[in-house]
């Protein structure tokens, strides 16, 4: 990918920000459960989750299809390239920028600071990939996490709406756990092993390796919260993982 891609890529990222801005406005018009309407602090959170769900469905299936359609990319994680993967990275960069702005402009920074840190890491890493054209396949593997996020976000929507069907929540709980292993922990573990073994720790390689290790720590923290909340509630301590108004919990 040459420098000529940079301006079009910036336009694609900007277009993605606009698309998610439109989805956010559309979410305002959708009906909300009584449990959300009765607690004003949850209105922003509900809308934010709906936009996050849309990104997870689109980006997760996009990453899955792109890698399934072009499996040869997996043999060249550092320099493999596909137009579909490039567009996906631009698309997701736009989402992370939009979500960061949504958190900041709606005064949710204090309760959602972890996600601002995550988004800053993702945006900076993705911008470096767009500029250099390298490690694009690594980003596609990381975006498989969005398949897991589909069920993680459904989990939060069910909790917030106080859906009376315990069976539905229980079913999603176990599917969510399987997806967490398959599409979040497994790709992350593989990429961490790959970077530590094969990627030269200097320049962009060093920057991405540090990002990856920090993301490892965040993912393990989220996983421990998920286990405590859904499988070992007696181990929950303090405010970790609590479901209170204004907090985003276990998403992205």
What pLDDT is attached to residue 7? 73
Rounded to whole angstroms, how far apart are CA atoms 181 and 6? 35
**Residue 128 falls within a domain, yes or no?**
yes
What pLDDT is attached to residue 94? 98
Q: Is the pTM of this model over 0.85?
A: yes
Per-residue pLDDT tens digits of the chain, which is 252 residues long:
444 457 789 999 999 999 999 999 999 999 999 889 888 778 999 999 999 999 999 999 999 999 999 999 999 999 999 999 999 999 999 999 999 999 999 999 998 999 999 999 999 999 999 999 899 999 999 999 999 999 999 999 999 988 767 889 999 999 999 999 999 999 999 999 999 999 998 899 999 999 999 999 999 999 999 999 999 987 765 544 444 444 444 433
**Residue 177 falls within a domain, yes or no?**
yes
Domain that holds residue 174: 5-27+40-230
What pLDDT is attached to residue 128? 94
**Residue 211 falls within a domain, yes or no?**
yes
220-228 contacts, C-beta under 8 A, 24 or more apart: 222/250, 223/180, 223/184, 223/185, 225/249, 225/250, 226/152, 226/176, 226/177, 226/180, 226/250
- Exposed, middle or buried: residue 46 (CB in 10 Å: 0-12, 13-18, 19+)? buried
**Residue 239 falls within a domain, yes or no?**
no
What pLDDT is attached to residue 252? 34
Total domains in the fold of the chain: 1
**Residue 240 falls within a domain, yes or no?**
no
């Amino acid at each position: 990918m040459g420098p000529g891609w940079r301006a079009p890529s910036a336009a694609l990222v900007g277009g993605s920000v606009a698309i998610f801005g439109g989805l956010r406005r559309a979410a305002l018009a959708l009906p909300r459960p009584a449990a959300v309407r009765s607690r004003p602090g949850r209105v922003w959170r509900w809308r934010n989750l709906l936009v996050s769900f849309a990104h997870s469905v689109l980006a997760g299936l996009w990453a899955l299809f792109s890698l399934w359609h072009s499996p040869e990319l997996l043999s060249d994680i550092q320099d493999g390239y596909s137009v579909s993967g490039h567009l996906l990275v631009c698309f997701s960069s736009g989402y992370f920028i939009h979500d960061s702005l949504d958190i900041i402009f709606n005064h949710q920074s204090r309760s959602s600071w972890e996600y601002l840190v995550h988004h800053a890491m993702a945006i900076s890493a993705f911008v470096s990939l767009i500029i250099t054209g390298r490690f694009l396949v690594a980003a596609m593997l990381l975006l498989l996490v969005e398949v897991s996020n589909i069920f993680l976000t459904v989990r939060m929507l069910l909790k917030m709406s106080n859906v009376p069907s315990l069976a539905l929540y229980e079913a999603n709980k176990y599917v969510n756990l399987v997806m967490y292993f398959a599409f979040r922990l497994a790709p992350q573990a593989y990429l961490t092993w790959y970077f530590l073994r094969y990627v030269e720790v200097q320049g962009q390689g060093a920057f991405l390796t540090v990002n990856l290790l920090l993301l490892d720590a965040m993912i393990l923290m989220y996983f421990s919260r998920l286990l405590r909340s859904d499988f070992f509630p007696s181990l929950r301590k303090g405010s970790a993982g609590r479901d209170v108004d204004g907090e985003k919990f276990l998403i992205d």
